[in-house]
């Protein structure tokens, strides 16, 4: 069982939980003021897309997938990040 748990996926789980706490703290803190909260929000979006990428690469095992499939997923993450930040800033 120990050999099963000692994987990159377990380490990534710790990282994902830590990043969730960071995002939650950034989103909950009200002391930034409106302009600085926009910067915090952009950071929250960046962390979210980074987490999506980690889930894709290590949980869905796309890290070991054929280049085409992995590239499609990486492209999706990139487009999602671009789209969300652009809509947040300019909509």
Partner 1 sequence: MLPAVMERHVPGEPGIWVLLFGDMLVFTVLFTVFLHERGAKPELFAHSQAALNRALGATNTLVLLTSSLLVVLASHAMRRPPLRHFARRLTLGGALVGACFVVIKGFEYHEKIAAGIAPSTNEFFMYYFVLTGLHLAHVIIGLAVLVVLSTVAGNSGPTRTHIAFFEGGACFWHMVDFLWIVIFSLIFLVR
CB of 8 to partner 1, least distance (A): 10
> Six-digit token pair at 80?
């999602």
CA pair distance 53, 71, nearest whole angstrom? 11
> Six-digit token pair at 79?
């487009």
CA pair distance 58, 5, nearest whole angstrom? 14
Helical H segments across 1-91, by residue range? 2-5, 8-28, 34-54, 67-90
Q: Which of residues 28-87 bind partner 1 (CB under 8 A)?
A: 28, 37, 41, 44-45, 47-49, 51-52, 55-56, 58-62, 64-67, 69, 72, 76, 79-80, 83-84, 87
Binding site for partner 1 (CB under 8 A): 1, 3-5, 7, 9-10, 13, 16-17, 20-21, 23-24, 26-28, 37, 41, 44-45, 47-49, 51-52, 55-56, 58-62, 64-67, 69, 72, 76, 79-80, 83-84, 87-88, 90-91
């Amino acid at each position: 069982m120990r050999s099963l748990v000692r994987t990159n996926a377990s380490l990534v789980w710790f990282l994902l939980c830590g990043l969730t706490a960071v995002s939650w703290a950034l989103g909950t803190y009200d002391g930034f003021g409106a302009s600085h909260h926009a910067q915090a929000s952009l950071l929250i979006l960046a962390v979210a897309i980074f987490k999506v990428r980690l889930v894709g690469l290590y949980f869905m095992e796309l890290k070991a997938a054929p280049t085409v499939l992995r590239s499609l997923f990486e492209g999706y993450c990139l487009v999602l990040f671009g789209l969300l930040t652009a809509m947040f800033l300019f909509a």
